[in-house]
Amino acid sequence: MTYDLPAVRGTLTPNKDLSGLTWLRVGGPADWFFQPADVEDLSAFLAALDPAVPVFPMGVGSNLIVRDGGLRAVVIRLGRGFNGIEVEGDTVTAGAAALDAHVARKAADAGVDLTFLRTIPGAIGGAVRMNAGCYGSYMADVFVQAHVVLRDGTVTTLDAGDLNFQYRQSALPDGAVLTHVTLRGPMAEPQELHTRMTDQLAKRDATQPTKDRSAGSTFRNPAGFSSTGKDDDVHDLKAWKVIDDAGLRGARRGGAQMSEKHSNFMINTGQATAADLEGLGEDVRKKVYDSSGITLEWEIMRVGDPA
Ligand SMILES: Cc1cc2nc3c(=O)[nH]c(=O)nc-3n(C[C@H](O)[C@H](O)[C@H](O)COP(=O)(O)OP(=O)(O)OC[C@H]3O[C@@H](n4cnc5c(N)ncnc54)[C@H](O)[C@@H]3O)c2cc1C
């Protein structure tokens, strides 16, 4: 599909292959790929863009399956100009392209506890959109405010009420691009925070296939939803357990596999297509339902068209 696109100061690339930009290394091209120079560039572009053209903001693709036919949209990915991190007292302001791990480390240096972000491989925009969390802490716990550019180019701020955080989701308006985020964490000794992060990295490596190509947890834990987003930590019914109980640890389809190390992690063993990965996920959902009556809900987002 061809669109008439406004002029920009950043980079606009047609027919951009997205597979190299996702953790699972699959997926077809985006019609257009836009890397804005700054907030003004992004805002002017969106204001001038035909409202009928779909816009898809992406982070570092650690929670995405882009289907093999790609995306009929303008994919917006923030880069330089959106990855600064500033700490003042207990308050951290980060560009949406800043990696969670960098934010956690820089905050820890200044004695601010955002340690839960250290082992999540996304960027801050994706962390807000997904209400990312682990080890008992979630984005919702530390979130103060976000700057966004709405689909019509309006630059505005959203607070926690606007985003209505829930388990692994938020109410970000369609096509809105988060540009900067303000977070506030408890204060603690920097050394203590760095030690905790080192321990958490080791714990991940021991229990999850961190060296494989995955997108983290494939399905939400079937705990239901809570406004605090904490149910997944206290509920017994873990997705990996129901997958194991259905005999699906290690299950394969083409190059896709449910990890032997953690059965709720789906991995690309080398040559998987997006169709292999999504198809395997749907096989698992069906078999888990048939054996236990539990309907697993995807946590990985699937976007775009089949081949
Ligand atoms: C090994 C591994 C371990 C993981 N462990 C965890 C974990 O413990 N806890 C957890 O919560 N997640 C985990 N994840 C999943 C993933 O890292 C998180 O969901 C992360 O927050 C996604 O960020 P991203 O930048 O990769 O976003 P993407 O995957 O690129 O996008 C995810 C969603 O966010 C939206 N988005 C991204 N950036 C923006 C933006 N600037 N503005 C508006 N919308 C945006 C996209 O449109 C999409 O809807 C894991 C993933 C992997 C690969």
Ligand 1 lined by 130 (C-beta under 6 Å):
yes
Question: Are 73 and 89 part of one and the same domain?
Answer: no
CA distance 218 to 272: 15
Whether 197 maps to a domain, the answer reads: no
Question: Are 231 and 285 part of one and the same domain?
Answer: yes
Residue where a domain stops, chosen among 77, 103, 121: 77
Q: Which residues contact 86 (CB under 8 A, 6 or more apart)?
A: 92, 93, 94
With bands split at pLDDT 50, 70 and 90, how would you rate the model's confidence at 128? very high
Residue where a domain stops, chosen among 56, 77, 98: 77
Whether 198 maps to a domain, the answer reads: no
pLDDT of residue 236: 63
User: How many CB atoms are closer than 10 A to CB 52?
Assistant: 6
Ligand 1 lined by 266 (C-beta under 6 Å):
no
> In the chain, how many domains are there?
3
Cα 291 to middle of ligand 1, angstroms: 30
Whether 32 maps to a domain, the answer reads: yes
CATH of the domain at 94: 3.30.465.10
Whether 123 maps to a domain, the answer reads: yes
Question: Are 170 and 256 part of one and the same domain?
Answer: no
Ligand 1 lined by 29 (C-beta under 6 Å):
no
pLDDT tens, 26-43? 999 999 999 999 999 999
With bands split at pLDDT 50, 70 and 90, how would you rate the model's confidence at 235? low
Residue where a domain stops, chosen among 37, 59, 77: 77
Residue 232 has pLDDT above 60, yes or no: no
Protein residue closest via CA to atom 53 of ligand 1? 215
Cα 62 to middle of ligand 1, angstroms: 5
DSSP-derived secondary structure for 106-170: HHHHTTB--GGGTT--SBHHHHHHTT-EETTEEHHHHEEEEEEE-TTS-EEEEEHHHHT-BTTB-
Question: Are 229 and 294 part of one and the same domain?
Answer: yes
pLDDT of residue 214: 97
Question: Are 92 and 181 part of one and the same domain?
Answer: yes
Whether 256 maps to a domain, the answer reads: yes
Catalytic residues: 168, 217, 299
CA distance 4 to 207: 48
Provide the token pair at 10.
């950043």
pLDDT tens, 264-298? 999 999 999 999 999 999 999 999 999 999 999 99
pLDDT of residue 167: 87
Whether 1 maps to a domain, the answer reads: no
pLDDT tens, 185-197? 999 999 999 999 9
CA distance 39 to 84: 13
Q: What integer best gives the mean pLDDT of the chain?
A: 94
CA distance 132 to 120: 8
Ligand 1 lined by 197 (C-beta under 6 Å):
no
Question: Are 93 and 45 part of one and the same domain?
Answer: no
Q: What percent of the chain is predicted at pLDDT more than 70?
A: 94
Whether 202 maps to a domain, the answer reads: no
Question: Are 184 and 90 part of one and the same domain?
Answer: yes
CATH of the domain at 23: 3.30.43.10
Protein residue closest via CA to atom 36 of ligand 1? 126
Question: Are 55 and 112 part of one and the same domain?
Answer: no
CA dihedral 104, 184, 96, 132 (to 10 degrees): 70
Provide the token pair at 209.
């296939």
**pTM, full prediction:** 0.94
Domain span at 33: 11-77
Question: Are 72 and 90 part of one and the same domain?
Answer: no
Question: Are 94 and 186 part of one and the same domain?
Answer: yes
Question: Are 167 and 216 part of one and the same domain?
Answer: no
With bands split at pLDDT 50, 70 and 90, how would you rate the model's confidence at 228? very low
pLDDT tens, 87-115? 999 999 999 999 999 999 999 999 999 99
Cα 188 to middle of ligand 1, angstroms: 27
Q: Stretch 149-176: mean pLDDT, rounded?
A: 96
Q: Stretch 108-136: mean pLDDT, rounded?
A: 97
Atom nearest to 178 CA in ligand 1: 42
Whether 200 maps to a domain, the answer reads: no
Q: Which residues contact 212 (CB under 8 A, 6 or more apart)?
A: 259, 265, 267, 268, 269
pLDDT of residue 52: 95
Question: Are 155 and 71 part of one and the same domain?
Answer: no
